[in-house]
């Protein structure tokens, strides 16, 4: 049995709590609510609004893919005891997170600081176990693969020409472009990408589908500006980098990043990466992962690639890839685009300190501030591929800017008063909860009643006693209490050196004593 969203500690349970909005989400009828948010087909999933919610969270049911396996022991994501009240300014008005969700077509929102989840929201009936597609956010993962390959000497230099690793591109313009210039989207090759279905990107995809990726790349062979001198976004350049990784490492992109990133990062769920008929990953898009694992990636980036004292990502490469000071002036914020700069397949935010983003069409983004260890993950189903053609782009950035500044107000939970008897019961919750799940918990901790020569009842009792003795050794903090007649609803949290343990239960009052009642979690 796999416990996707649970972390077991001896005798206790960490609950991964989240909020799934019950309010009407924007345009939910248009997006297919009446039909259960269906997903589309190979032909229509990208453009069809009526299947956008379903397609963007079920893409691995539509396209061929490979799996990156979750870690055996997922890394801990701590959670704030209560979601703080956050506010931001947009177009002269003040808004809350609730307002943001009701105003924008957001499927998932995750805000973390110092590795702790502050906000986790879903709507359009999406859940924590849904794998959301990255679109172009995965370009940054492909960039990290280049960094890993440099580190392990599979790639000699970023100034190597692509044709060194892809002889089939020798004599073609893209083959004569350096890896560094491909990373910066500065090949100078003529290529249009506006997502209207009539651009070079659509033509490229058609040739790729009917023939193969290499022939599609070879089709675009006219250099209109000197390479390395101008930022010009074209997804074909990332496709070339993906092929370089496969050639240089002798591994598929999925296998390579499963080994280098996904497992070492401590992913809690499998990810999938779409592939073509020849087995090449779509290095420029169509990676699929749960929201919290995107949060883990963002947090790893915020810590400059370090996790629990271990350097997971190649630090020098990451710093160069995400700092505008390391780029020529043409790639600085305000120069590459009106707002963002561009590094090595990472968008770089304006301002003196290093902040950057992974961005995909239709509202996918991971914003990262290494200085404050702040991360915001958003998945969406925007009306437009370019979210700056509607309000989502600037409003998301306004929320992020408020989180970074003193404009973000955080209101702590008020002090709660509870009946004295309830506190006395909190330390026994592990045993009360465990009564229905203790057999699975015993298996998790390799307890064998036959081996130990004890009957099951005796061993269960002994195991539970040890479990809640462990719990009682820590101080419990109540985060929510609601009393209705002789019933009390309680949420509590305990902080241990192993992480946060969260419990949720009900009590019933009989006379002047309180007892555990109903379902416990």
Number of helices (H), then strands (E), belonging to the chain: the values are 16, 23
Question: What's residue 14's pLDDT?
Answer: 29
Name which of 97, 76, 88 is nearest 19 in CA terms. Answer: 97
Question: What's residue 273's pLDDT?
Answer: 98
Question: What's residue 82's pLDDT?
Answer: 82
For 22, what's the count of Cα atoms within 13 Å in the CB-facing half-sphere? 0
Question: What's residue 83's pLDDT?
Answer: 87
Q: How far is 302 from 299, CA to CA, in rounded Å?
A: 5
Q: What is the pTM of this model?
A: 0.77
Question: What's residue 433's pLDDT?
Answer: 40
Output 433 or 503, whichever has higher pLDDT. 503
* CA 67 centroid distance within chain: 16
Region of 124 on the Ramachandran plot (φ > 0 left; ψ -120 to 50 alpha; else beta): left
pLDDT greater than 50 at residue 411: no
Secondary structure (3-state) at 74: coil
For the chain, the average pLDDT equals 84
CA distance readout (Å), 388 to 186, 216, 394, 395, 494: 22, 29, 7, 9, 43
In a 10 Å sphere around its CB, with 0-12 CB exposed, 13-18 middle and 19+ buried, how is residue 157 labelled? exposed
For residue range 364-388, list pLDDT tens digits in order: 999 999 999 999 999 999 999 999 9
Question: What's residue 84's pLDDT?
Answer: 87
For residue range 438-489, list pLDDT tens digits in order: 444 444 444 444 444 455 555 555 554 554 454 445 555 667 766 666 666 6
Question: What's residue 446's pLDDT?
Answer: 42
Region of 461 on the Ramachandran plot (φ > 0 left; ψ -120 to 50 alpha; else beta): alpha
For residue range 141-168, list pLDDT tens digits in order: 999 999 999 999 999 999 999 999 999 9
Band the pLDDT of 130: cuts 50, 70, 90: very high
Question: What's residue 414's pLDDT?
Answer: 34
Is beta strand 12-15 parallel, antiparallel or unpaired with respect to 476-484?
unpaired
Name which of 277, 288, 305 is nearest 254 in CA terms. Answer: 288
Cross-strand pairs, 461 = none
Q: How far is 519 from 433, CA to CA, in rounded Å?
A: 8
């Amino acid at each position: 049995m796999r416990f996707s969203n649970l972390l077991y500690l001896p005798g206790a349970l960490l609950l991964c709590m989240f909020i799934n909005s019950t309010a009407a989400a924007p345009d939910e009828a248009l997006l297919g609510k009446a039909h259960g948010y269906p997903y589309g087909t190979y032909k229509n999933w990208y453009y069809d609004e009526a299947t956008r919610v379903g397609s963007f969270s079920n893409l691995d049911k539509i396209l061929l893919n490979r799996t990156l396996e979750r870690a055996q022991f997922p890394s801990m994501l701590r959670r704030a005891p209560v979601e703080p009240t956050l506010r931001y300014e947009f177009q002269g008005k003040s808004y809350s997170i609730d307002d943001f969700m009701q105003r924008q077509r957001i499927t998932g929102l995750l805000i973390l600081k110092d590795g702790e989840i502050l906000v986790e929201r879903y709507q359009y009936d999406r859940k924590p176990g849904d794998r959301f597609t990255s679109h172009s956010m995965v370009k940054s993962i492909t960039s990290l693969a280049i960094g890993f390959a440099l580190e392990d000497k599979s790639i000699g230099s970023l100034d190597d020409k692509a044709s060194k690793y892809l002889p089939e591109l020798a004599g073609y313009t893209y083959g004569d472009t350096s890896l560094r210039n491909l990373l910066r989207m500065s090949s100078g090759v003529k290529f249009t990408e506006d997502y209207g279905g009539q651009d070079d990107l659509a033509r490229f995809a058609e040739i790729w589908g009917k023939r193969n990726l290499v022939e599609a790349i070879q089709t675009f062979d006219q250099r209109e500006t000197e390479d390395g001198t101008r930022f010009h976004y074209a997804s074909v350049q990332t496709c070339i980098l993906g092929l370089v990784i496969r050639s240089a490492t002798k591994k598929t992109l999925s296998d390579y990043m499963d080994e280098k990133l996904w497992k070492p990062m401590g992913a809690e769920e499998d990810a999938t990466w779409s592939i073509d008929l020849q087995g090449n990953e779509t290095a420029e898009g169509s990676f699929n992962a749960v929201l919290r694992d995107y949060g883990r990636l963002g947090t790893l980036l915020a810590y400059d690639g370090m996790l629990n004292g271990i350097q997971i990502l190649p630090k020098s490469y990451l710093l160069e890839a995400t700092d505008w000071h390391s780029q020529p002036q043409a790639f600085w914020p305000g120069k590459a685009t009106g707002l963002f700069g561009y590094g090595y397949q990472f968008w770089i935010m304006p301002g003196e300190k290093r902040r950057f983003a992974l961005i995909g069409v239709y509202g996918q983004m991971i914003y990262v501030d290494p200085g404050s260890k702040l991360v915001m993950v958003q998945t969406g189903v925007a009306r437009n591929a370019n979210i700056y053609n509607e309000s989502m782009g600037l409003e998301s950035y306004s929320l992020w800017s408020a989180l970074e500044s003193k404009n973000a107000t955080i209101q702590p939970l008020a002090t709660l008063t509870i009946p004295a008897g309830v506190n006395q019961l909190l330390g026994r919750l592990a045993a009360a909860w465990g009564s229905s799940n203790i057999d699975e918990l015993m298996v998790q901790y390799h307890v064998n009643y036959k081996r130990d020569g004890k009957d099951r009842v005796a061993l269960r009792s002994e195991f539970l006693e040890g479990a809640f003795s462990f719990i009682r050794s820590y101080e419990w903090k109540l985060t929510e209490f609601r009393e209705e007649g002789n019933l009390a609803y309680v949420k509590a949290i305990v902080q241990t050196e192993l992480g946060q343990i969260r419990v949720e239960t009900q009590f019933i009052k009989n006379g002047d004593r309180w007892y555990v009642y109903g379902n416990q979690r």
